[in-house]
Amino acid sequence: MIITVASGKGGTGKTTVAVNLALSIGFTNLLDCDVEEPNVHTLLLPTNLQTSSVTVPTPSVDQGKCTLCGKCAEFCQFNAIFVGKTKTMIYNEMCHSCGGCKLVCPEDAINEVERPIGRIHQSSIGDTRLVYGELSIGEPIATTLIKRVKDQVKPNAINILDAPPGTACPVIETMRDSDYLVLVTEPTPFGLHDLSMAVDVVKELNIPFGVIINRAGIGDEGVTEYCRKNDIQILMEIPFNRTIAELYSRGIPFIQEMPEWRNRFNDLFVRITELVKNGE
């Protein structure tokens, strides 16, 4: 099973939910797909990390063979190639590594070289396996690294994916192929606005989902009313609680100090399993 924890905005508590859910279930595969700013490891404090580099094929032009015909630039839909009067230039950060320019070059002047874009870290913390990606500074395309992180999904295991914030391509790539989505929000006008955007995206992907309201007790009833009107299940409410906030600030998953919440997250997982089984 793949359960993805997402939201429409940052700071709602996705990582808090993902980590506490994974630790409560036990024997899980926890993947942090927020490769631009991974932070699951700050709550789990892994040791003995196994790190591997991630590279992508990037075109390299043999200027001696190039006739400046411009067919490669015409083909590239991402404007990553510029053909000038004296040379052809490649803008690596805009390249999507599709390989098309190499195929259309009539002079065989384009070769592909591997270019590093980030790293993947893996470790085990008790019975939880942690995988997280770390995009290199300056790299603008996160989806390639997210795909590599998702390659570590175990088909016969419980996989918890911590998604990036927002509703753009990195989030959609993370959500893809999920069995269930947990949307974490907060009961504020900002939380409601971004939750509604996330819901629109999820409905397009046709993946079953429910909502967790974090920091319940602040703000207003707008999120609750929105979920009621749109027949969206509220799976859990996590209160605006000083102890939870203090534990998070110290990098401690709150189920470790508040064991009653371990049972609640276990119940949440059982409920999600039933919803997936029943196709709801």
Give the pLDDT score at 270: 96
User: Which DSSP state fits 154?
Assistant: -
**What span, in angstroms and rounded, lies between the C-alpha atoms of 162 and 251?**
17
Q: In which element (H, E) is residue 58 found?
A: strand 50-61
Burial class of residue 231 in the structure, from the number of CB atoms within 10 Å of its CB (0-12 exposed, 13-18 middle, 19+ buried): exposed
User: What's the average model confidence in pLDDT over 19-38?
Assistant: 96
Angle between helices 260-277 and 14-25 (to 10 degrees): 90
- The confidence band for 10, taking pLDDT boundaries of 50, 70 and 90, is confident
**What span, in angstroms and rounded, lies between the C-alpha atoms of 17 and 7?**
11
- Answer yes or no: is pLDDT of 15 > 80: yes
- The confidence band for 11, taking pLDDT boundaries of 50, 70 and 90, is confident
Range of lowest pLDDT (46-55, 216-225, 271-280): 271-280
pLDDT tens, residue by residue, 76-123: 999 999 999 999 999 999 999 999 999 999 999 999 999 999 999 999
Domain annotation for the chain: domains and CATH numbers: 2-54+138-277 (3.40.50.300), 63-108 (3.30.70.20)
pLDDT tens, residue by residue, 111-170: 999 999 999 999 999 999 999 999 999 999 999 999 999 999 999 999 999 999 999 999
User: What's the average model confidence in pLDDT over 205-213?
Assistant: 96
- The confidence band for 30, taking pLDDT boundaries of 50, 70 and 90, is very high
- The confidence band for 248, taking pLDDT boundaries of 50, 70 and 90, is very high
Give the pLDDT score at 279: 78
User: What's the average model confidence in pLDDT over 193-212?
Assistant: 95
Return the C-alpha torsion angle 272, 180, 261, 47, nearest 10.
Answer: 130
Give the pLDDT score at 9: 80
Please, where are the H alpha helices in the chain? 14-25, 41-44, 71-75, 100-104, 143-150, 169-175, 189-205, 222-229, 242-249, 260-277
